[in-house]
Amino acid sequence: MMITPNPTLQVIPNNPIGLPKKELILEIELNGKMKFEHLMNTIYNQFGICHRVLSANVEYVNGNSFGSVQLYINVNSEDYQQLEFYLNKNKLLNTMVEYNCRKYF
């Protein structure tokens, strides 16, 4: 499965109270309990979190999604906690790493 970035994706501001945002890489293990497409739509539509798929290794067996996906997200701590609760509630193993980009001057 090949996933290409959508250059026309617009970023919707989701920081009404001014909480600081962090750049994170979120890895989610797909275990057949939720379809990959449903998960991506939920992250964007329900939580308002724009994301970029960095890598995806998804297999479909009888309509169920298995594998893993790495997402780049820029999110405040409150929104991330809500997303993490949702993933845990749906028994989707997830790991978050703070993204630090080197800046060259």
Judge contact between 26 and 94, C-beta under 8 A.
yes
How far is 89 from 83, CA to CA, in rounded Å? 10
Taken in order of first residue, the domains within the chain and their CATH numbers are 21-95 (3.30.70.260)
Give the per-residue pLDDT at 15.
46
Give the model's pLDDT for residue 21: 87
Buried-state track 67-101, b at ≥16 Cβ within 10 A, e below 16: bbbbbebbbbeebbeebeebbeeeebebebeeeee
Residue pLDDT, tens place only, 20-37: 888 899 999 999 999 999
Q: Which residues of the chain have pLDDT under 50?
A: 15
Q: What pLDDT, on a 0 to 100 scale, did the predictor assign at position 72? A: 94
